[in-house]
Structure 1
Amino acid sequence: MRSSMAKGFEIKFNKGWEKDILKAAQKGVEDEVRKSQALLDRLLDRYKGQPVSTVKPVLLSEWRRSGGSMTDAEATDWATLISQGTRIELRL
């Protein structure tokens, strides 16, 4: 498959290119899930037993620093689980 974007510029797509892109995207998602899981596990180790009011701002700060976002309600729910010593398990 060929696509011509501009005069003198051509992109060639090899057979199976869609599969290659999906495979690369899947790996990227899996890497992000691993990093996020490690972050949540670190927070659990450090903050279990601490009040939600202590856990929540740290959770939000660390989550945002890693490029994530969550609603206030999600942050409260997750901070509550961490405070209670419950492991949050991310799945694909």
Structure 2
Amino acid sequence: MSNVSFNFDENAFKRIAEDAVRDLAAKQTRELEQIRQRYTGHPIAEIKPALQRLFAEDGGSITEPELTEWAQLISDGSRIEFKPEKIRW
């Protein structure tokens, strides 16, 4: 039988996880900007499905109050930006 060893580099894992969070935040910010550019001035009811799709694509969800609030911001032409926080280990 052979000996198998496994070394786990916790610091490397943390860097990878933080990079992934940062990348996702940047991706969703870009996508929200595209939605804003397309839907500024449009009715909230038209914007909500686009926001729901955005969150569903990455396995997330958005609550109804947030959905309405964000749709209103987009309709008004306001920019929404995700800012990742440092992961609390």
CA RMSD in angstroms comes to 1.8
Equivalent in the alignment of 2:37: 45
For residues 8-64 of structure 1, give each alpha carbon's deviation from its aligned partner in whole angstroms, at most 9, with x where no partner exists.
Answer: 6744226xx111110010111111111111110000000011111111122112321
For residue 23 of structure 2, the aligned residue among 2, 27, 31 is 31
Q: What 5-or-longer segments of structure 2 have no aligned partner?
A: 85-89
For residue 83 of structure 1, the aligned residue among 48, 61, 75 is 75
Question: Are residues 76 and 20 of structure 1, via their aligned partners in 2, closer, same or farther at CA, if it must alter by over 3 Å?
Answer: same
Q: What 5-or-longer segments of structure 1 have no aligned partner?
A: 1-6
| Structure ranking higher in strand proportion | 1
Equivalent in the alignment of 1:70: 62
Structure 2 residue matching 1:35: 3-state secondary structure? helix
Instruction: Give the fraction of aligned pairs with identical amino acids, expressed as a percent.
Output: 33
User: Which TM-score applies when normalising by structure 1?
Assistant: 0.80
One-letter code aligned to 1:75: L
Is the radius of gyration larger for structure 1 or structure 2? 1
Determine the C-alpha separation between the residues in 1 that align with 2:23 and 2:72.
Answer: 26
Determine the C-alpha separation between the residues in 2 that align with 1:78 and 1:47.
Answer: 12
Structure 2 residue matching 1:12: 3-state secondary structure? coil
Equivalent in the alignment of 1:13: 7
Q: Which has the higher contact order (CA 8 A, sep 6+)?
A: 2
